[in-house]
A = this chain, B = another copy of it.
Amino acid sequence: MAALSHHEITMFLLAIAVLLGVARILGEIARVLHQPAVLGEILAGVLLGPTLFGRLYPELQASLFPLDGPQAVAMQGLFLVAVTLFLLVAGMEVDLSVAFRQGKAAISVAFFGMIVPFALGFGFSWFFPWLLMAVEPGKELVFALFFATALSISALPVIAKILKDLNLIKTDMGVIIIASATVNDLLGWIIFAVVLGMMGTGQNSLSLGMVIGLTLLFTCGMLTVGRIMVHRLLPWLQAHTSWPAGVLGFALTGSLVCAAFTEWIGIHAIFGAFIFGVALGDSRHLRERTRATLDQFISFIFAPLFFASIGLMVDFVSNFNLIAVVVVFVLATIGKLSGCYWGGRLAGLDKRECWAIGYAQNARGAMEIILGLLALQFGVIDEPMFVALVIMALVTSMLAGTLMQKVLKRAKTNHFSDFLSSKAFVPDLNASTRDAGIRRLAEAVCAGTTLDVEKITNAVLERESLMPTGLPNRIAIPHARVANLTRPIIAAGLSHEGIDFDAPDGHPASLIFLILTPDNDPSAQLQILSGIAGVAKSPALVDELLHAQNFTELLALLKARDEILGGQPAAAH
């Protein structure tokens, strides 16, 4: 076979660019709509694949994303590396120590949350396989085992992201959810690896017993001896190799070696990368910075590429089977919800909490999709079944956050920059006195609303007279609570001469935030004030903010800073 030709190289690069670009754009749109990024990324593939683009412009589509030939092989290699590294990062998020530390409740939720959907899935697909798909004779057991596993796993990354958004991650319930999802995730993958071994036998010379034996040996070895060795090796690497090159190289080399090993066993490469990720991520010697570099590059580049590639492979319209979609979704949801609910009740949790845990665990996210893809490639399921699994994974992930929010009556935490707007930005706050400055900002904030400038100004000044709101580093935060406000509003003003707000460090304020919050929501005010106080602690950031040329630059600085400080994990897949 020839190497890539000039034309194929051009199309290969263009195809990656288009896939990545569209996946990132739709991923961002999903995020704005408070949905997991993976939803947009898969949609990108659906649009660019046979479902839409291929229907409209079959020739153009085929030249950009051909199904065979050198270009297709090069793409396949890249997607393989992408999914392998994505599983490395997914494994790194698994924190075994959290799972071990948790007591009765987590174990009970994990056990019932896994066994109930597993039994339901196994029973259903054993007795009514024809409702799901035409199963080849002799493959009934493998299919039933696969379907049972598919219903019982959870998507740790999506769940962690939802808990973080709802500010629940550090609560008792959050820890129970994370711990039980971790156990689910890990056990689910081990069972699935065994199922894969059953599907894949014949690919190499190993017997099924050997495959299962090697899988368990590898898993147990990596999670005990391997984990300790990684933990010991990391400080040595940091001490004696260039930083972070040594650790990055080790992480990728290790995950690729493990991936090659599990691929050789016959249980697919990604399992090895995932288990290596668990061993690596568990070490407290892995520095935050190194973790973030791996996480960001892989989650924001490789993962979107991989998830978009899924849409390229399958026609989501012609393979849409309503019965399969409904059955899969209903079984998955009933199994998971009832399992988690009763697991929680038995451990003595109250009803509301149990529902919330069930909703969270029901999110299947990226893991389900990868599982389905492998089953499709191994010939265990057909395209309509795969489409049903993908839709179930996406819908359960989309519902999880909303349902939890409802049952727990919790609002999403917002960053104060979410309440800024370009309309209420005064780039040149020309005011010689504090009161005039506040009035000017109140005018900006009230323009186009039913708020009364006079009332707002007086309320803020009254608050100001109780205690001045000047912070160190040239920031001031005049504020007031306002009746009948549905959400907080913040106006921002830049004053080059500075306005005296009686700050503790004696400096006049150059960056002034006027903060109005609903009078029935005291926590919103507290959150906003402490957010801005965090900014005031960094003189370098304040300095950059004061040099912002326009509202977008100001917002860009606050957002970038926010996520740096927040130590946000990457996209929720």
Residues of A with Cβ closer than 8 Å to B? 1-4, 6-7, 9-14, 16-17, 20-21, 24, 27-28, 31, 37, 68-70, 72-78, 80-81, 84, 200, 203-204, 234-246, 248-250, 252-253, 256-257, 259-260, 263-264, 266, 269, 285, 287, 289-290, 292-294, 296-297, 299-301, 304, 550, 552-553, 555-557, 559-560, 562-564, 568, 570-571
Minimal Cβ-Cβ distance residue in B for A28: B241
In contact, A253 and B20 (Cβ under 8 angstroms): yes
Minimal Cβ-Cβ distance residue in B for A558: B239
User: Among B256, B292, B299, which residue has its beta carbon within 8 angstroms of that of A14?
Assistant: B256
In contact, A77 and B1 (Cβ under 8 angstroms): no
User: A3-B68, A256-B17, A263-B10 in contact; A297/B248 too (CB < 8 A)?
Assistant: yes
User: A70-B73, A249-B24 in contact; A243/B560 too (CB < 8 A)?
Assistant: yes
In contact, B13 and A263 (Cβ under 8 angstroms): yes
In contact, A238 and B559 (Cβ under 8 angstroms): yes
Minimal Cβ-Cβ distance residue in B for A265: B10
In contact, A12 and B80 (Cβ under 8 angstroms): yes
Residues of B within 8 A of A31 (CB): 241-242
User: A4-B76, A73-B4, A244-B560 in contact; A300/B249 too (CB < 8 A)?
Assistant: yes
How many Å from the CB of A79 to the closest CB on chain B?
10
A297 CA to B21 CA, complexed, in Å: 19
How many Å from the CB of A448 to the closest CB on chain B?
21
User: A4-B73, A296-B293 in contact; A257/B17 too (CB < 8 A)?
Assistant: yes
Instruction: Give the number of copies in the complex.
Output: 2
Task: Give the dominant DSSP class at A's interface.
Answer: helix
Residues of B within 8 A of A249 (CB): 20-21, 24, 300-301, 304
In contact, B297 and A77 (Cβ under 8 angstroms): no
**A20, A244, A294 — which one has the most chain B CB atoms within 10 A of its CB?**
A244
How many Å from the CB of A83 to the closest CB on chain B?
11
In contact, B556 and A239 (Cβ under 8 angstroms): yes
In contact, B80 and A81 (Cβ under 8 angstroms): no
Residues of B within 8 A of A203 (CB): 6
A24 CA to B12 CA, complexed, in Å: 28
Residues of B within 8 A of A269 (CB): 9-10, 13
User: Among B7, B75, B245, which residue has its beta carbon within 8 angstroms of that of A296?
Assistant: B245
User: Among B10, B69, B264, which residue has its beta carbon within 8 angstroms of that of A10?
Assistant: B264
User: Among B28, B68, B289, which residue has its beta carbon within 8 angstroms of that of A2?
Assistant: B68
How many Å from the CB of A70 to the closest CB on chain B?
5
A-B contact pairs, 26 of them (CB 8 A): A1-B69, A1-B72, A3-B68, A4-B77, A4-B80, A10-B263, A13-B84, A20-B249, A24-B246, A28-B245, A73-B77, A74-B74, A77-B78, A78-B78, A235-B556, A236-B556, A240-B555, A243-B562, A245-B296, A245-B299, A245-B300, A249-B300, A249-B301, A249-B304, A289-B560, A292-B293
In contact, B559 and A243 (Cβ under 8 angstroms): yes
In contact, B28 and A242 (Cβ under 8 angstroms): yes
A14 CA to B260 CA, complexed, in Å: 5
How many Å from the CB of A520 to the closest CB on chain B?
30
**A239, A263, A300 — which one has the most chain B CB atoms within 10 A of its CB?**
A239
User: Among B3, B73, B204, B296, which residue has its beta carbon within 8 angstroms of that of A244?
Assistant: B296
A263 CA to B72 CA, complexed, in Å: 18
Residues of B within 8 A of A290 (CB): 560
A559 CA to B200 CA, complexed, in Å: 46
A115 CA to B512 CA, complexed, in Å: 55
In contact, A293 and B297 (Cβ under 8 angstroms): yes
A9 CA to B70 CA, complexed, in Å: 15
Residues of B within 8 A of A240 (CB): 555
How many Å from the CB of A286 to the closest CB on chain B?
10
User: A76-B4, A236-B556, A244-B296 in contact; A13/B259 too (CB < 8 A)?
Assistant: yes
Residues of B within 8 A of A287 (CB): 560
A257 CA to B17 CA, complexed, in Å: 6
Residues of B within 8 A of A252 (CB): 17, 20, 301
Minimal Cβ-Cβ distance residue in B for A304: B249
Residues of B within 8 A of A10 (CB): 260, 263-264, 269
Residues of B within 8 A of A236 (CB): 552, 556
Residues of B within 8 A of A244 (CB): 296, 300, 560, 563
A289 CA to B560 CA, complexed, in Å: 9
In contact, A296 and B264 (Cβ under 8 angstroms): no
Which 3 pairs between the two chains have the least Cβ-Cβ distance? A74-B77, A238-B556, A24-B249
